[in-house]
Amino acid sequence: MYFRQMLYERGKAMLPGFGEWTLEKEPARIHLEEGLIYPPRLHVHFTHNPDVDAAPLVQFVAEWQNIIPAVAELQIKKFLRQLENQFVEDHSIEIPLVGNLRQDENGVWIFAESPILQQGLEALPLRPLTRAGTAVQKPEAEAPVAGKVSESEQQPVAAESPEPAGAAPYPFEDNHSRGKGWWIALGVVLILVAVGWTAWDKGWLSSIQNSIQKKIWGDTTSLSIPAASQMPALPDSGMQHVSHGAQVDSIKTYQLVVSAFADSLDAANFYRQLSSQWPNAELIRDTSSYQYLVTLSMSITAADTAKWVEQIQRIYGGHPYFLQHGR
């Protein structure tokens, strides 16, 4: 049955006796309570209409199979009889790779999408800013318990023997050496200032900063993503909203989302990026998933892409990737 193919290609499909299914675009949204950013997606909406016209479905099946409309109409009627029998037994029908339609005790029709419709770009997590890591607190020292004093502590302390006459005073008690500590500290500070100036002048600090940044965020140069010149031009207004409370959990995930949406009008490139870099690539290689991704990429307009990137940038404006490639 080609109900699913018609729904994706035409954006609308119908079943006489039940109603009509349409594809609707959901914009990207930010859910602060869940701590997630949901990307744009396609949502299947059902409208109950038992008198819906089946002529478009008959014509689509006939063109897809290269058969005459009369034969296509017979196939559709056979499929509808199976759904009607299933509804009588279970009070619900299962449309393969589309979803489940049921009717509750009040006569309200409820449609639940199939999980395969939810394949595509995953939500971006919002994580707290953790640059320095978590400090380990030292356990507090236990106070000595009264009544449990060792025998050595109970013994009286012997009086210190007086120094013999003519003995030299303790070395650190020399009054002339007390002022030397300030000169030593000042000398150490001057040496550190000289070393820091030399490191800044020769660019050592920038290399150290880059190595530390790679350890925190990961090596962004080793990822197989488009170059900075090929990345989309991000809105200037987003750079003014630098976030101090959230950061991207994975720089690779973020770059993948931006690059995929930047090429959302190119279905082949969109699929190639996802299938080569996404963790669940084996699900995307499926023909059905591929058809869904193509439909998703072709339905997201340039305006939707700009809004999605702007939302990401407004929240993650302080990320090192934006500081390097955002202008």
DSSP for 164-207, please give it: PTTPPPPGGG-GGGTTHHHHHHHHHHHHHHHHHHHHHHTTHHHH
Query: What's residue 143's pLDDT?
Result: 47
The pLDDT tens digits for 13-39 are 999 989 999 988 776 666 778 877 777
Based on its alpha-carbon atoms, the radius of gyration of the chain, rounded to whole angstroms, reads 35
Q: How far apart are CA 15 and CA 56, in angstroms?
A: 10
Boundaries of every domain in the chain? 3-118, 211-325
Winning range, highest mean pLDDT, from 147-156, 163-172, 205-214, 317-326: 205-214
Per-residue pLDDT of 277-305, as tens digits, reads 444 444 444 444 444 444 444 444 555 55
Q: What's residue 289's pLDDT?
A: 44
pLDDT for 125 beyond 60: yes
First to last CA, the chain: 50
Q: Give residue 284's pLDDT.
A: 41
Of the given ranges (221-225, 282-286, 312-316), which has the lowest mean pLDDT? 221-225
Backbone angles phi, psi at 248, to 5 degrees: -70, 135
Render 6-49 in DSSP notation, one character per residue: HHHHHSEEEETTTEEEEEEEE--EEETTTTEEEPPEEEEEEEE-
Q: Is the separation of the CB atoms in 12 and 24 below 8 Å?
A: no
* pLDDT for position 183: 72
* Nearest-angstrom CA–CA distance, 14 and 7: 8
Span 212-224, average pLDDT: 39
Residue 57's pLDDT is 92
Q: pTM of the predicted model, to two decimals?
A: 0.40
Provide the percentage of residues in the chain whose pLDDT is more than 90: 10
Neighbours of 62 (CB within 10 A): 19
- CA distance linking residue 254 with residue 217, whole number of Å: 12
CB 97 within 8 A of CB 2: no
When pLDDT is averaged across residues 212-226 and rounded to a whole number, the result is 38
CB neighbour class for 321 (10 Å; exposed up to 12, middle 13-18, buried from 19)? middle
Q: Residue 123 pLDDT > 50, yes or no? A: yes
Q: How many residues does the chain have?
A: 327
Kindly state the percentage of the chain with pLDDT values over 70: 36
Position 323 scores a pLDDT of 43
Query: Could you give the C-alpha distances from 227 to 153, 222, 321, in angstroms and in order?
Result: 72, 11, 12
Q: Using pLDDT thresholds of 50, 70 and 90, give the confidence band for residue 96.
A: confident
Diameter of the chain by CA atoms? 128
State pLDDT tens for residues 168-208. Answer: 444 444 455 555 566 777 777 778 777 666 665 655 555 55
pLDDT of residue 313: 56
Specify whether the CB–CB gap between 18 and 57 falls below 8 A.
Answer: no
- In the beta sheet, which residues pair with residue 38? 29
> At residue 48, does pLDDT exceed 80?
yes
